[in-house]
Amino acid sequence: MLETLDLSLSLSKEAYREALDPLQNELHALQIQARNQHVPIIIVYEGWDAAGKGGNIRRLTERLDPRFITVYGIGKPTEEELDHHYLWRFWTKLPCRNEMVIFDRSWYGRVLVERVEGFATTAEWQRAYREINEFERLLHDDGAQLIKFWLHISSEEQLHRFEARMADPTKRWKMTDEDWRNRGKWQQYESAIEEMLERTADPIPWQLIEANDKRWARIKVLRTVVDQLRTRLIPVEPPVVP
């Protein structure tokens, strides 16, 4: 599935600026509409290390009302979280019916990093596909608008971004030994990603984002969220002028 993506897609600075403002403004209007219609919004970001998730999230949220949005950066589980089912820590972060929640990494860690690094047993991560599908179906059936993104970059682009971070004192903090170790298991992660995309596309399909060009990825994500909310929300009738 990943091989079908055209990673050469890009946007000029001019085209990016021209598209950004209208999409951000419309998303703000849709956020208000979703609040009024009591539709909770859940957006999941997954992707390779250095795929641009953080910058993408900033562009998605910078015009939104911060009182009704929360972004969770998901890292290693705490000791308390490890004492519960792995989905427990996500249940506690789900939005109210007038809110939006964004997950920078998510429950898919069970079938990605936990699978590849051996933090979950084979039986646990194989069982997780069914558990995740049932979890997302429950959210969908309860009225949530759930959108899932996979930000895809090439191995060469990831190396370029890693090296750029190491050369920049203001960004070097982002790099850890774990990033380099994960990169050494690219093929194992790629196999896990392909199986994840195939087995967890129902009821919520994945939105695959070509992210070698950050501007392209940001606009495609914004446009996807706007399009899905337009389709989901009840149109607001204009006021009748007497």
Residue 239 lies inside a defined structural domain of this protein: no
**Is 153 within the bounds of a domain?**
yes
In a domain? residue 237: no
Percent of all residues in the chain with a pLDDT value above 70, rounded to a whole number: 97
Q: Categorize the per-residue pLDDT at 26 as very low, low, confident or very high, splitting at 50, 70 and 90.
A: very high
pLDDT digits 0-9 by tens, 76-125? 999 999 999 999 999 999 999 999 999 999 999 999 999 999 999 999 99
Q: For position 38, what pLDDT does the model report?
A: 97
In a domain, 241, yes or no: no
In this predicted structure, the answer to whether residue 234 has a pLDDT above a threshold of 90 is no
Per-residue pLDDT averaged across 39-61, rounded?
A: 97
132: domain CATH number is 3.40.50.300
- Asked if residues 176 and 49 have their Cβ atoms less than 8 Å apart, the reply is no
Q: Which of 26, 142, 58, 47 is nearest to 95 (CA)?
A: 142
- Tell me the residue length of the chain: 242
Q: How many domains does the chain have?
A: 1
- pLDDT band of residue 1 (cuts 50, 70, 90) is confident
Average pLDDT score over the chain: 95
- Full residue range of the structural domain in which residue 49 is found: 2-232
Q: Write the DSSP string, 51-101.
A: SSHHHHHHHHHTTS-GGGEEEEE--SPPHHHHTS-TTHHHHTT---TT-EE
Q: Is this model's pTM higher than 0.85 or not?
A: yes
pLDDT in tens, 129-186: 999 999 999 999 999 999 999 999 999 999 999 999 999 999 889 888 888 989 999 9
